[in-house]
Structure 1
Amino acid sequence: MTLSSAPGPIGVFDSGFGGLTILRELVQTLPEYDYLYLGDNARAPYGTRSFETVYRFTLECVQYLFDQGCQLVVLACNTASAKALRTIQQYDLPAIDPDRRVLGVIRPSAEAIGRVSLSNRIGVLATSGTVKSESYLLEIAKLYPQIQVFQEACPMWVPLVENGEYNSPGADYFVKRHVDALMRQCADIDTVILGCTHYPLLAEKIRQYLPSHVTLLSQGQLVADSLADYLERHPGMDSRLTRQGSLTFLTTDSTDLFNQPASRFFGRPVSAQFVTLS
């Protein structure tokens, strides 16, 4: 199948809802572009799956967005960025269409660290899958070899957010537990990255338990600023993106199950369309 070279929307992909916190900042920063969001909710969560499975699922979703006319796709998912992005960029894109691009969320987050941390000691709060992938350690080491990275896996945080319990008293226990565990690794940590797109909904509680001098970075604005810079530096790609300010939401699961939680993540009402990938 030959893909069209006609301009199209920016594709934004996540295994479920978390990528909507990225999309929210993309729309805020670059409102003139068209966006097509795909949540693979039927197969979520990705965090506990193997590298091979995450790669296969992510490639299917990227291909689907390409088929819908997207020339540029953002993997708004830490797990997909950690386990699939590099392989897709290096091995699949040259065969599919060397002029298209797939970008992730980990590198923009890593790039920001060097501009923020003074102590060169940073923390990452993330899912077990992202922590095990060591993607943040690797990316930060490439850019800033002098920075030490301390990671803490927070397996209960995504279920709390997805079940709407992120403001509940029960959430405090799990947030404090993992924030304290991270800070026990190194008292000199001065910057913490929220390495999961669900975690911005817990940011207020996380700040309560972090020492006041620690800077907390959410990925949405970092990714949005990085994309704006990327498009400025790549006018050829920028010219292949449509600009009518439209937003389209797609899910591989029931729209009834998607719309209400999605609206919480996105910050305004969401009405999705159901799609099948095959």
Structure 2
Amino acid sequence: MKIALMDSGIGLLAAAAAVRRIRPDADLVLSSDPDNMPWGPRTPEDVTARALDVARAAAAHRPDALIVACNTASVHALPALRAELEPALPVIGTVPAIKPSVAGGGPVAIWATPATTGSPYQRGLIREFAGSVAVTEVPCPGLADAVEHADEPAIDRAIAAAAALTPRDVRAVVLGCTHYELVAERIRAAVRQPGLPPVALHGSAGAVAAQALRRIGAEPAPSAESAGGLTVLLSGRTAELPETALAYAEGQLLGAVSPAR
């Protein structure tokens, strides 16, 4: 079994690690675009063009499924990716986990990039899934870039700024950018209020990993032999896992395997 994941940068690590945990025998292909990131400020047409290039690089390795582990690419490029690659290659997009986040009754905050915050796409998901639950959209300028570069002081500043915009009574936070899942516990600590239980965090990594297996008719097998290889593609070039990826537990998990042959 071979699962490919694509993103502008290392935000794909969370979903890749989730796949590794439920199918440690699966080969992984990680395709990102460091030469042209970030994608967030680009036009939808430009994002689509970049996403297609990154997806084609991954598809050349003949995976069984492709996870679009990027909220921006899922918003703008998913129809084009599916039109080109399916049905031969199932394509799984990433959607902010708004629906499960409101199950506890709220209030809920959605942390996302400035481009996504307030967008028709995100507002549509809120209307569809939130019902009467109070939802606050929280822009997180600079957080994805800080995570991408493992810039610890910048991560702290960006999280603190977003936490200051998050209502004190929020009981759940949706992580609306895949990069944010790499610093989830730091986000949880920043929004926790004295005397209240920890805030629930809702990312997408586990859901997209499970959906990828469903799309190819496979079952989770977390106790399978840890025999899965790893192929890393940086703007189409075969490379090693970026050094910044190893700053995170997810990157360390993936780096603990031999490269795929």
2:178 corresponds to which of 191, 197, 208: 197
What letter matches 1:39 in structure 2? S
Displacement after TM superposition at 1:83 (Å): 1.6
Gaps of 5+ in 2: 220-224
Residue 7 of structure 2 is aligned to residue 26 of structure 1: no
**What TM-score do the two structures reach when normalised by structure 2?**
0.79
The total of aligned residue pairs comes to 246
**CA offsets, 1:89-127, max 9 Å, x none?**
3xx24xx443422111216x2343244x323x3211111
Name 1:70's counterpart in structure 2.
63
**CA offsets, 1:180-211, max 9 Å, x none?**
2132xxx5532101112222343333222213
RMSD: 3.1
Identity of aligned residues (%): 24
Displacement after TM superposition at 1:69 (Å): 0.9
1:158 corresponds to which of 125, 131, 144: 144
**What TM-score do the two structures reach when normalised by structure 1?**
0.75
Structure 1 contact 106–135 (Cα < 8 Å) conserved: no
Name 1:251's counterpart in structure 2.
234
Name 2:101's counterpart in structure 1.
113
Residue 40 of structure 2 is aligned to residue 56 of structure 1: no
Q: Which moved more, 1:70-79 or 1:147-156?
A: 147-156
Displacement after TM superposition at 1:32 (Å): 2.4
What letter matches 1:118 in structure 2? G
Gaps of 5+ in 1: 1-7, 274-278
Name 1:83's counterpart in structure 2.
76
Displacement after TM superposition at 1:151 (Å): 1.2
> Following TM superposition, where does structure 1 have runs of at least 4 consecutive aligned residues deviating by more than 6 angstroms?
253-257, 270-273
2:93 corresponds to which of 104, 125, 139: 104
Alignment CA distance shift 1:30-1:140 (3 Å) = farther
Distance 2:86 2:175 in 1: 32
More helix by share: 1
Structure 2 contact 228–257 (Cα < 8 Å) conserved: no
